[in-house]
Amino acid sequence: MVWATGDALYNGKYILERQLGQGRLGITYLVKDGDDCRWVIKTLNDALLNSLTPQEQNRLETKFCQEAVKLRGCNHPHIVKVRELFKQGKRWCIVMDYVDGVSLAYRAQKMLPEAEALNYIQQIGEALIEVHRDGLIHRDVKPGNIIVHVRDGKAEAVLIDFDLALEFDCEVTSVRTKEASDGFAPMELYSRLAEKPGEYTDVYSLAATLYELLTGHKPVSAIKRKLDREQLEPPKKYNDQISDRTNRLILQGMGLEPKQRPQSMREWLDSLGLISEASPPAPTPPPAKRGLTLEQKLAIAGLIVTMLGVIVAFFGPLSDWMDRLKPQSPTSPTPSSTISP
């Protein structure tokens, strides 16, 4: 299905302006509504669908719709907002917010300062934590899917273009393998025989994105590392201003096998020192038990003395009172008088 500029979609609600891009699974279009507000519409790629059996098509479209509905519930300032789902002809379409900004793939400065790059990585990492919390994996994190725009006078990164159905592993596998230049996908996204994608999948892709932002070089692809034994060069080779910790954690995040990487995005961000301000504070430990202070001991001693004084005044000298408490000895019998005969 080919759409052209000026085509009306969803019963005339949206008018197509132009195609924005085309990926493995989807095609995105820029559209506007009756109020001249711009939106992005994503639909599945006809070339992929036409290569599948009817059963496989139905499975892919079902997955596409299910995950779109889940993403609609993701509310985070650094995730593009999914607004609605509709069907145009035979194809399902997802309507998303249009983020007016610049993709990090087309940034003016190829080697970003470390602080700036880490700021964007933290924002996108926090967004991915929200996605993972809802049981989803982005599966296509890379500079081209991160838009930087200005909000309230500050540059902010927004994650876009979810590869919604990459879990579908039929034609997708061969499409992935042909992308020899893709340095952002881990091995589990190339082959159905590899380990199942998880949070660690997005950790790899975000670490590779940080690599590219700091060096201006796309990292060698995972499949070349695996099959051709090509080495992943440390990012410090291209930028000696990168801190040792960041250099080490980029390489750790890009571990070839999932078990070599941090297993969650939170774990990796914390290792980088990118601790969320929204994280709950650590619980305050209960106060340690302490003995009585000298002042408390003196006060107690004074109270005892005062009580003793009251007792003495009421009952008399203590010695007299103690005498009264002593048991009395029995009276000895008077000896009998002797009567002389």
Render pLDDT for 24-61 as a digit per residue (tens, 0 to 9): 778 999 999 999 999 999 999 888 888 889 998 898 89
Q: What is the identity of the amino acid at 36?
A: D
Q: Report pLDDT for 203.
A: 98
What confidence tens digit (pLDDT) does each residue in 78-109 have?
A: 999 999 999 999 899 999 999 999 999 999 99
- Catalogue all structural domains in the chain, each as residue range(s) with its CATH number: 8-271 (1.10.510.10)
In sequence order, which residues have a C-beta less than 8 Å from that of residue 325 and are 6 or more positions away?
A: none
Q: Encode pLDDT of 130-144 as tens digits.
A: 999 988 888 889 999
High-pLDDT (> 70) share of the chain, %: 74
Q: Is 111 in contact with 212 (CB distance < 8 Å)?
A: no
pLDDT digits (tens, 9 = 90+) for 222-241: 999 999 999 999 999 999 99
Report the distance separating Cα 80 and Cα 130, nearest Å: 12
pLDDT tens digits along 239-258:
999 999 999 999 999 999 99
Provide the residue type at 64 as one letter: F
pLDDT band for position 182 (cuts 50, 70, 90): confident
Whether 321 has a pLDDT exceeding 70, the answer reads no
Residue 32: name the closest of 12, 59, 3 by CA. 12
Q: Which two tokens stand for residue 221?
A: 């692809």
270: pLDDT strictly greater than 90: yes
Look at 64-73, 118-127, 328-337 and tell me which has the smallest mean pLDDT: 328-337
Q: What is the distance between the alpha carbons of residues 198 and 203, in angstroms, rounded to a whole number? A: 9
Contact between 93 and 3 under an 8 Å Cβ cutoff? The reply is: no
At 263 the pLDDT is 96
Residue 174 has pLDDT above 50, yes or no: no
